């Protein structure tokens, strides 16, 4: 984002409308920080109100410095923009909008001036989207060609109407997100009227849901979304949710090791839901942190502590004398599975679970923590808990074998295609 200065046009009350617990101005500043910006200017005709909001401490945007410029007595013009900085390019954003970070990134990637449009809004957001969407990237050269006294918004709209500025079409942007394992259509829309607020929040909540889930997660997803719709309007942070999940997970480990299997399974089931909350909370409220990226490693440690604790209990109680052989098979299968998935991702640029319809279907039942817990719960209810532990170990080995074969096939097909092109 070198040589680009973000300028947000923030007027109360529209720029301070809250959606999912974060007002629109704050949300945009958090997005800009995560795009790599460390400085922004906020231009406002209501500087007292907006300034009071910016004065509130916000850890989620603490790395970006914000300078407030009062426009109470004059409109934003090209001349005023040029006076703000010697930057070569300016990212102009009305702060009364919700805008996907990918669309702002697409604008910033343009070398010439460009405005954001949406030629084909998705059906779910059609009643919210307005064209032009508002954000635009402009160069100094572009600003020099505008009237120095006319309002910038009118000048920009005139250029768009007369097709004298390039456009970034939201409908043409790649909507597949690798880490989310799904397509999430990027949208940009202004502060909705009160009767459409729930629709706007539903779009934001839906965009935080990962795709290609296992079967238990399809039951967890609506529960998680319902909880997040309430949690996002509190001060609870993703890291606090992670800590709560860690405590619950450790409680399950202790319960399993002590032979309180029913209590351990209940804690594991609760953990399965809580584990999905921190990521959703961070995506909905734009509160992603570097520490949050380590959460998956913590989950992996907790999960394996369960399998070890169960093995210890079954061995100590004499219900399964050879259980540690099965535990070793489980860990080995997990390592092999990780190797296969990493290899496939390097070859295809996406997760193995979402490469083909077969992979997505197999993901429903493939060996994973949620599937294991369900199998163990069935075994406990049927008074066949030791047998259910053997089942999850065997299923882990079989799933790893399937993923390894799929990885080999994917990588070999890539090699065959490359050789065919060369020949």
Domains and CATH numbers, the chain: 4-190 (3.90.550.10), 208-420 (1.20.120.1760)
Does residue 4 register a pLDDT over 50?
Answer: yes
For residues 320-340, average pLDDT? 96
Tell me what pLDDT residue 389 has.
98
User: Residue with structure tokens 């007027």?
Assistant: 11
Percent of the chain with pLDDT over 70: 96
Give the model's confidence band at 267: pLDDT under 50 very low, under 70 low, under 90 confident, else very high.
very high
Contacts of 150 by beta carbon, 8 Å cutoff, 6+ apart: 77, 78
Out of 53-67, 98-112, 383-397, 402-416, least confident range: 402-416
pLDDT for res 261: 97
Tens-digit pLDDT profile for residues 154-165: 999 999 988 999
Closest CA to 209 of 232, 235, 239, 179: 179
For residues 81-100, average pLDDT: 92
Say what the pLDDT of residue 421 is.
Answer: 46
Interacting residues of 213 by C-beta distance below 8 A, sequence separation 6+: 221, 363, 364
- Rounded to whole angstroms, the Cα distance separating 386 from 392 reads 10
Q: Which of 32-36, 71-75, 129-133 has the lowest mean pLDDT?
A: 71-75
Token pair for 336: 């092999």
The residue that leads in pLDDT, 1 or 178, is 178
Average of per-residue pLDDT values in the chain: 92
Residue among 197, 58, 220, 68 at smallest CA distance from 127: 197
Q: Taking 60 as the threshold, does the pLDDT of residue 416 lie above it?
A: no
What is the mean predicted confidence (pLDDT) over 344-350?
A: 88
Q: What is the pTM of this model?
A: 0.90
Share of the chain above pLDDT 90, in %: 82
Query: Averaged over 345-369, what is the pLDDT?
Result: 92
pLDDT of 146 higher than 70:
yes
Q: What is the pLDDT of residue 316?
A: 97
Residue 414 has pLDDT above 70, yes or no: no
What angle separates helix 385-422 from helix 323-348, to the nearest 10 degrees?
30
Give CA–CA dist 129/98, Å, rounded.
Answer: 10
Q: Residue 80's closest CA among 7, 11, 180, 24?
A: 7
In this prediction, residue 84 has a pLDDT band, given cuts at 50, 70 and 90, of confident
Residue written as tokens 């999850």? 392
pLDDT digits (tens, 9 = 90+) for 190-224: 999 999 999 999 999 999 999 989 999 999 999 99
Q: How far apart are CA 390 and CA 346, in angstroms?
A: 32
List pLDDT tens digits, range 240-265: 999 999 999 999 999 999 999 999 99
| Report for 77-81, 209-213, 372-376: range of highest mean pLDDT | 372-376
Spatial contact of 311 and 326, defined as CB atoms under 8 Å apart: yes
* pLDDT exceeds cutoff 90 at 85: no
At 348 the pLDDT is: 87
Instruction: Give the mean pLDDT of 317-326.
Output: 96
């Amino acid at each position: 984002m070198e040589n680009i200065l973000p300028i947000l046009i923030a007027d109360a009350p529209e720029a301070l409308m809250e959606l999912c617990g974060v007002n629109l101005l704050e949300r945009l500043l958090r997005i800009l920080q995560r795009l790599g910006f460390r400085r922004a200017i906020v231009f406002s005709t209501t500087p007292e109100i907006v300034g009071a909001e910016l004065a509130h401490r916000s850890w989620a945007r603490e790395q970006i410095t914000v300078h407030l410029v009062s426009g109470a007595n004059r409109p934003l013009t090209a001349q005023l923009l040029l006076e703000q900085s010697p930057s070569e390019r300016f990212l102009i954003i009305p702060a009364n909008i919700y805008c996907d970070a990918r669309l702002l990134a697409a604008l910033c990637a343009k070398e010439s001036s460009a405005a954001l449009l949406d030629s084909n809004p998705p059906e779910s957001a059609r009643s919210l989207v307005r064209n032009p969407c508002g954000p635009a990237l402009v160069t100094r050269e572009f600003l020099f060609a505008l009237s120095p006294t006319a309002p910038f918004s009118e000048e920009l709209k005139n250029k768009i109407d007369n097709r004298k500025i390039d456009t970034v079409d939201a409908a043409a942007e790649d909507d597949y997100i690798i880490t989310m394992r799904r397509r999430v259509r990027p949208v940009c829309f202004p502060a909705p009227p009160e009767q459409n607020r729930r629709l706007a929040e539903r779009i934001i909540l839906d965009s935080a849901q990962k795709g290609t889930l296992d079967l238990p997660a399809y039951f967890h997803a609506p529960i998680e979304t319902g909880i997040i719709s309430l949690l996002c309007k509190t001060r609870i942070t993703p890291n606090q949710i992670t800590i709560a999940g860690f405590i619950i997970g450790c409680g399950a480990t202790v319960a399993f090791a002590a032979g309180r299997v029913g209590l351990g399974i209940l804690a594991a089931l609760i953990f399965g839901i809580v584990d999905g909350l921190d990521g959703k909370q961070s995506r909905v409220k734009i509160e992603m942190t570097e520490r949050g990226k380590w959460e998956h490693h913590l989950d992996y440690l907790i999960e394996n502590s369960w399998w070890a604790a169960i093995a210890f209990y079954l061995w100590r109680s004499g219900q399964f004398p050879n259980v540690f052989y099965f535990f070793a098979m489980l860990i080995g299968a997990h390592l092999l599975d990780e190797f296969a998935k990493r290899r496939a991702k390097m070859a295809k640029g996406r997760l193995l679970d979402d490469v083909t319809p077969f992979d997505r279907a197999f993901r429903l039942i493939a060996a994973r923590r949620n599937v294991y817990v369900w199998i163990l719960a069935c075994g406990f209810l049927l008074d066949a808990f030791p047998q259910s532990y053997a089942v999850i170990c065997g299923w882990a080995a079989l799933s790893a074998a399937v993923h390894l074969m799929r990885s080999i096939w994917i990588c070999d097909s890539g090699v065959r295609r490359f050789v065919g092109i060369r020949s």
